[in-house]
Every structure is written in structure tokens, then in C-alpha cells.
Structure 1
Amino acid sequence: MKKFFPILLLAVGLLSFQVVSDFKGVDKKIKKPSDSPMHYMQLAISWYQTAAETRALCYQAFNAARMSLDLTLQTAATDKPLAIVFDIDETLLDNSPYQAACVHTGIAYPDYWKEWIQSVQCEPVPGAVEFVQYADSRGVDVFYVSNRKMHNLDATIENMNKYEFPQVEKSHIMLRETTSNKTPRREKIAETHNIIMLVGDNLGDFNEEASKKSIEERFAVADKYQNQYGRTYIVLPNPMYGDWEGAMYNFDYSLSPEEKDELRNKVMNVYMCVK
């Protein structure tokens, strides 16, 4: 383990170097990642970028999606075309180099997020391209519902076309305009289609019941839909960010790094082995 840890850090550094070097004008006072207020994300990013288990979980999610789709197509009877709704970030496209740049430079979302998207450097999440192409080959309409803003539409299309995601056209991509709530966009799709599956990395990619809710309330929502996961709700792993983090801060992102750190420690279930 001692020999492996420096190699892991080097790998993360190499993965994020190009992104960091592209962001001109970032905080030059950050001499090393441990000085960054975003340093707490380091282990989560390292896991996402280097753990074979990350890839395994992604493949598992898309394998479950494929099996569920096959079963649904055997019994689906509807006068509307069938559709699957996908989130994009950390569902189909990997933005972890941007998260690593936050650790290495001290920036925080939304700083340089637009520049990252416009650079068209996102790579696909393992198994994503293959599953979306499979759904397309089975005659299912594909919609991409993301909270990327509209000024990132062209770059998003370019990035997805780069990896041959199907049905990448403006009528099938719904980015954020006035609200991050995805329900109105899903309802718009449901006017003309029968949505048979939702794929995402955040509970809000499935419904809004957990929106701005506490940790315990979010647990209750997850428990309520436990029979849907792996069937109509397909969840991808994302330990780097999401509403789960906001719930720890009561969704007050204006808190100082020290206040956030205190809250992160406070919610941990700790075995008090030292008294």
C-alpha cells in the first residue's frame, strides 16, 4: 500500500495536468493541492479516476439497464414511441478532470466550468456509449436532459458526437434554461413519448421528491423507490458532488470551507474507540 499511494497521486496529477494548465488566471497562491479549500475531494476523485471498481459499477448499471430494456420491449404496448431519458454529466460524460482541477488550483464550481465544457475534453463513462447505441438500435428514442446551461449546447453536441452517441440533435437535448428542476423537461417528453427508463447519478434525475431535502428525507425517498433501481431507474456512481453533498450543508453553499468541513465531520457515524 505504501508503494502504491505515491503512484496513485501521480496518476491523478497527470490526469488533471492538462485541464489545470488550460485554466489561465486561476489562484496562483495554491502551491500544492493540500492548500486548496477543495482538497477534501481528493480521495473521491482518486477513487473515481483510478478504481477498477468504478468501472465495474458503471458496467453493472448499464448491464442492468440493458436487461431491463430487453424485458420491457417484450411487453411494452403503447401508442406512443418509447423513450429513455439520460442525464449527461457523470452519467454519460466524465468531468472528473475538472473536479481534479478544483483540487489542484483552488477553483470551485462554477469557476471555469464553461471553459472546461467548451474544451470538449470529456470522455465517456464506461459502458455508456455501448448502452445508448444499443437502445437506439432497438428503436428507442433517446433524450438527454442535463443541467448544463444553454450556452454549452454546441460544445455538448460536439463532445457527444465525438464518441458517437446516437440521436445527438437539438430536439433531443434539453439543457437548463430557467430551472434546474428536470421535471418540466421530462413532462415535455412524456407528452409525445412513453418514458420507460431514467438514467442518472443524482436522485433529481428520476424525480424531484428529494429536492432540497435532509439526509434522512433523501434516505426515505431512496427507500420508497427501492424496487425501481436497476429496472426503470438506473443509477451511476458519483462520489465527487451532488445533492447528497448539499444535504450536509442544508444546501447553503455560501458557507466557508471551515464551516463545510465542520458539517461534513458532524454527520459522520463515528465509532468512538478513544474516550
Structure 2
Amino acid sequence: MRRYMTLSTTAALLLTMAGCASSTSQPEAPSAPRPGMSEAPSALSQAAPISDQAMLATLWVQRSAEFHALSLQAFNVAHDRLNIALARRTQHDKPLAVVVDVDDTVLNTTSYGGWALREGRTYDSQSWANWVDDAVSTASPGAVDFLNYASASGVDVYYITNRKAAGKQATIANLAALGFPQADNAHVMPRTESSNKTERRAIVTADHNIAILMGDNLGDFDQAFQQDTSTARNAEVEQHASQFGRRFVMLPNPTYGEWEGVIYQGNWDISETEKRAMRDAALNVWQSETGTVTTGQ
């Protein structure tokens, strides 16, 4: 969700997930095609409102046993990898740390998205701040158990989040109420001026060896993943292939992320009609007449 905006990760998230004209809204007037849009949009791009697409992704996170299982799997992998790091540690090494993102990594934010969908609203900083202050996030399956295991094993836990500093105390209260360890001013590190997490990770590595980083967006691991195209992002993933499931542990999140921003070429302010068309144009599509596949833009 970054590089295409100056909002936090969570904000970018909800720009899409909540980017919802209600189903009763009047259709938007057609606009001139942008790069990445076809001249003649398909039936898909003109069908259901974009909010319906966001609703299905939100329901998958909230209701599917598959998401539940994948979240447990991620924290089980982290548990096993932490045990390996603990076994390899010597008395001369720096203390170990685990670094986790907050939104849609250890906390589930989809109730905000559900509110936005029901109300026909888009993300705005005030409603998001109100939601954060209510401290109503639930814990991702497996998150509390894993981080308490890490803490009990003498590992420091750092919550590097792109929630703004104004919401820090509410975030600490939310984490603590759910039983997360080390939920305090020293270990919860919100965004200040930039959504780039490099400097905050550097603060941790000054005194620790980071055994595991966990997140739902590639920027939670390394700024090198912040590329402008899907092709470049995937190439960067290949460059770091050996770290996934080892040092980098990824949580699934189909509701928002930088993956979507690159489809819009970094411009989250385009209309819903344009977003639908650019999503359509990005698809790989089987051509039944020729038996071939065309690759999306």
C-alpha cells in the first residue's frame, strides 16, 4: 500500500477495502481510459459495485476457517523458527527479538472495514482514529500464544505499526487487554513521519538480533520490496526467496495492500469506474476461442 501514498499502511488498506459507493449509488460517468485500462471494459468491470468485491474479501478474513487455519499456520511456523534461533544463540550474541506488524498481523482490523461497507463510506482519518481509540480489534488466531511463548523464552517483542502516534495508547490498551506481552511504550512503535519502517527496525537491531519478522505486507520486512509494479515486486520476492517461512513470516490479507496499489499505478484517488477497469485489465485471461492465455497489464 505504500509508495503510492503518504497514508499509513492501515489507511491505505481501508481506502480500498472500504472504497465503497453503496449499491444504490448512481453509476459514475465514463472517463477517458488511463494506462492499464482497456478501451472497451469487459462485463466484469461494469458489473457489481467495487464494494461488493471488498465485501467478499472481508468476509473471507472474518468468517472462513481457511483464514483461521492460515493464521495458525503462520504463528506455528514462527514458533518453530524461533526455537531454532534460540538453540543457535550463544551467550555472546545480542538478545533476540521478534518484530511484528500490528494491523492484520496480530490484530484484526476488519470490523472497521465492515462498518465502512455497511455505511457506504470510504476511509477517513477521523473515523479510523475513532475506531482505534475504541480498542475493539480482536487477536489474529495464534498470535497471543506465540508472542507469549517468545516473551517467556526471553525474547523481546516489538510491535512496529503504521498506526499514527496519536493512537499509541489505545493500541497498547487493545493489545494488553487481549493478553499480548510487552505491550508498553518501549515496545509499541507507531508511525511518526513516515510509513517506511526501516528506521524503526534499525532501532531494534541496534541492541538485538531479529529472529523473525511477521507482517501482512512486504514492506513489513524490507523496504526493498517497495516497487512500482507487480513484476518488480515479484522479482524482489524471488531475490529473498530463502527468507520466507524462515526469517520472514507472512500473514494472508486479500482485503488491501500494496499489491493493489500497483494495479492503480499508485493513484488511489481514481474513480471506482477506473479501479474496476484497471482490475479487469490486470487479469490473466483464458481466450476460449484460441485456447491461449493473455497476460494482464
Separation (CA, whole Å) in 2 of partners of 1:84 and 1:227: 18
- Report the CA distance between 1:118 and its aligned residue: 1.0
Return 70-79 or 144-153, whichever deviates more: 70-79
Alignment of 1:44 with 2:57, yes or no, is yes
Match of 1:56 in 2: 69
Match of 2:160 in 1: 145
Match of 1:106 in 2: 120
Equivalenced residue count is 247
**Amino acid in structure 2 at the alignment position of 1:79:** D
Separation (CA, whole Å) in 2 of partners of 1:223 and 1:160: 34
Q: Could you tell me the TM-score, scaled by structure 1's length?
A: 0.85
**Amino acid in structure 2 at the alignment position of 1:51:** S
Q: Could you tell me the TM-score, scaled by structure 2's length?
A: 0.79
The correspondence for 1:119, drawn from 117, 134, 147, is: 134
- Report the CA distance between 1:40 and its aligned residue: 2.3
Match of 1:220 in 2: 235
- Report the CA distance between 1:274 and its aligned residue: 6.0
- Report the CA distance between 1:212 and its aligned residue: 4.0
Tell whether the 8 Å contact from 1:37 to 1:106 is kept in structure 2 after alignment: no
Tell whether the 8 Å contact from 2:22 to 2:51 is kept in structure 1 after alignment: no
Match of 2:96 in 1: 82
Return 140-149 or 260-269, whichever deviates more: 260-269
- Report the CA distance between 1:219 and its aligned residue: 0.7
Q: Matched residue of 2:225: which SS?
A: coil
Cα deviation, 1:61-91, whole Å, max 9, x if unaligned, reads 1111111110111112343111111100000
Alignment of 1:70 with 2:77, yes or no, is no
Q: Percent identity?
A: 38
Tell whether the 8 Å contact from 2:214 to 2:220 is kept in structure 1 after alignment: yes
Cα deviation, 1:148-191, whole Å, max 9, x if unaligned, reads 00000111011001111000110111100000000010011111
The correspondence for 2:188, drawn from 165, 168, 173, is: 173
Match of 2:105 in 1: 91
Q: Matched residue of 1:80: which SS?
A: coil
User: RMSD in angstroms over aligned alpha carbons?
Assistant: 1.9
Match of 1:5 in 2: none
Relative contact order: is structure 1 or structure 2 higher (C-alpha 8 Å, sep ≥ 6)? 2
Alignment of 1:257 with 2:272, yes or no, is yes
Cα deviation, 1:10-41, whole Å, max 9, x if unaligned, reads xxxxxxxxxxxxxxxxxxx9476998653320
Separation (CA, whole Å) in 1 of partners of 2:238 and 2:93: 32
Separation (CA, whole Å) in 1 of partners of 2:256 and 2:159: 20
**Amino acid in structure 1 at the alignment position of 2:123:** Y
Tell whether the 8 Å contact from 1:94 to 1:122 is kept in structure 2 after alignment: yes
- Report the CA distance between 1:130 and its aligned residue: 0.5
Within a 5 Å distance, the mapping from 1:22-33 to structure 2 comes to: 30=22
**Amino acid in structure 2 at the alignment position of 1:128:** A
- Report the CA distance between 1:213 and its aligned residue: 2.3
- Over 3 Å counting, the alpha-carbon distance change for 1:248 and 1:62 in structure 2 is same
**Amino acid in structure 2 at the alignment position of 1:127:** G
Separation (CA, whole Å) in 2 of partners of 1:36 and 1:113: 23
Separation (CA, whole Å) in 1 of partners of 2:218 and 2:23: 36
Match of 2:41 in 1: none
Separation (CA, whole Å) in 1 of partners of 2:51 and 2:223: 28
- Over 3 Å counting, the alpha-carbon distance change for 1:270 and 1:261 in structure 2 is same
